Amino acid sequence: MKKLLTMGALLFLLVLALAPAQAEMRGYVKGQGYVYVHLGEYPYEADGTVKPLLWRVLEVRDNRALLLTEYIIDTSQIIFETDEKVIEAHSFRRINSFEESDLFPLLSTEYLDRMLGTSPLRNALIPEPNGATLFMLNDEAMLTSAYGFDSARWAEWPDRIRSHEAEGTPYAIKQRGLYVAYQNEKSSYWVATVKEPSDYKLQIVGFNGHLSYGAYTRVNIGLRLALRLDLNQVDLTGGDGSKDFPYKLAYNGTAPAPTAAPAIAPAATEAPASPLSGIPEMTAEPIAQAAPETPAPTDIPLPTEAPAQESKNTVTLSFVGDCSIGDSEQYTKAASSYHTCLSKNGYAWPFSLVKDYLENDDLTVANLEVVFTTRTRHTDKKYNLVGNPEFTQVLKEGSVEMVNTVNNHCMDFLDAGYVESLGHLDEAGILHFGTIYPGLANQHDDLGKVQVGDLLFGFVGFSYPQDYDAPKIASRIAALRSQGCDVVIVSLHWGRETYMTPDSWQYPFARQIIDAGADMIWGHHPHVIQPIVMYKGKPILFSAGNFTFGTMSDVDPSTGIFQVTYEKTESGAELKQLRVIPCKTQPSPDFRPIELTSEKERQDVFKKLVLKKEMTSMQNPPASFLETGVIEFENGQMK
């Protein structure tokens, strides 16, 4: 009997030894390395083919895991300026943290949408104190030995920085221009190039995006992103945590299942941010990048066309700035909210003080910075802008016939919310246009085309345009020209919020778009007005400011109705006049823009629309503009 017990005990021990180890989500352990997780998906192959996204687990504490992408998955741009003299001379921005950069708000919105779409696993992500869900590890984290990194900095021990390097995906290298530091196709985070129009200069870039030194404004960096995961809300459903068989995750909470996650399709030329400009080694010469091919006009979807109008030789279009006909979702029921205002005053209220101008033109176009939806699932950011679907009637009552829909808030309620919003605009008979995520599965590539009198107008809309977007915009201009458009207007959601002057990079970019065939650039996003310039006789309105905006009133209230008049001639369309009707926005709970009537207030607005100096190859409005707000044109040139 004793012998049998001994044999049984041995058998039990043998079974235990052969049984698979229990799944363990742990952080880095010296001698054992990392465990790995699959979470989300992203383009991986050079042709844009999507693969599950691989993350390494750096730390697990209090059942919360810190994850870092195993690869550099993409590239994007941070705009910085640290040289006081350059700031003074060129009005560049100086920012003091990564949170103030242009890239920061995109990480937890557009990039997160591409990775996880509407997956319920988004509910298990833990925002950082600064509100970010996706983020870049800072300098301190990337020098933490407990995470498996060497504590040596670049300048201290060049031979000990291998732990700071990462392999770029074929997509990031081939399509997005990620330059690799060595023959092993790994890239050091520390190095990126900084581009100015006449030159490249190597700069050192910290892991959190800070320039160690520098005097220029554009920094393209590789994206190797991090996030925090609440392990209480996920189950491990497969894999063993190795790099070859990473853990698979399932959400165990109560979030509704997604209807259709916006997958990312292969895209040979498309992605929404700039490619990285970089060089392999610190002493190497810059490597020129080939510009992506411009798709033929036939590659662009046909625009929605409005019904033809009666014959009219001279037509006037009005453009107004940011219109957020709604509120951030947490404030919709507040007593001072836009929703409450409309409930009390009716849909005609917001545009009632300026409606005469908008009714008496031939077409009014606004930037619609709100999502008309009943959906409640939204992105993880502070302000998600929403309006009741019936608020489309505000546009109709205000005689706004067309809107740009692509901006940094259009995906606040994810792709499903954007699609619903477009549907409500269609039901209300409001024309719309805008391109977002071009080339991807969840893209929206809507061009506008409308006959106004004797002229056919085309509209292109892009948000946060980067250098890489210029050929895409050019191809859409060409498409509209091929379809007979007499005038093509490009809408750009760009620039720095609350700044009264454009960024330095916007001037050459605007020239590029006009050179590509645009007749006018109409800008918005800063929430304040910015100057008007002419290039080759074509107007560039850098920012039209706010017009009626439900969530942001603590900014300069100057705004206006920007009217352009074109005439049909034997040689085509000819710009005859640009006129600004100066207005000011009114804060909550009124929200109505109102025309300015005192001469001083009017001239103050006109003054804000003129640069203090002329930019290269561009013209400021004539001196008379400061008095009248009117610019006359003859034979395509400013009088």
Are the beta carbons of 446 and 435 closer than 8 angstroms? yes
- Please give the pLDDT value at position 46: 86
CATH number of the domain at 388, please: 3.60.21.10
Q: Which residues partner with 402 through β-bridges?
A: 365, 431
- Please give the pLDDT value at position 381: 79
Decide if 304 is inside a domain.
no
CA separation for the pair 423, 417 (Å, rounded): 10
Q: Is 504 helix (H, G, I), strand (E, B) or coil?
A: coil
Same domain, 232 and 331: no
Same domain, 235 and 361: no
Number of domains within the chain: 2
Decide if 529 is inside a domain.
yes
- Please give the pLDDT value at position 47: 83
**Secondary structure element (H or E) that encloses residue 523, with its range:** strand 520-524
- Please give the pLDDT value at position 78: 60
Is the overall model pTM greater than 0.85, yes or no?
no
Decide if 7 is inside a domain.
no
Which DSSP letter does residue 256 get?
Answer: P
Using 50 as the pLDDT threshold, list the residues of the chain that sit under it.
Answer: 1-5, 10-22, 87, 91-92, 155, 157, 182-184, 188-219, 255-299
CA separation for the pair 78, 206 (Å, rounded): 12
Same domain, 240 and 314: no
- Please give the pLDDT value at position 211: 33
Same domain, 499 and 360: yes
- Please give the pLDDT value at position 265: 29
Sign of the four-CA dihedral 337, 585, 500, 492: positive
Same domain, 217 and 332: no
Domain residues for the domain of 105 are 36-251
Decide if 607 is inside a domain.
yes
Decide if 174 is inside a domain.
yes
- Please give the pLDDT value at position 208: 34
**R_g (Cα) of the chain, nearest Å:** 27
Same domain, 552 and 464: yes
- Please give the pLDDT value at position 43: 92
- Residue 562 phi/psi, 5° resolution? -100, 110
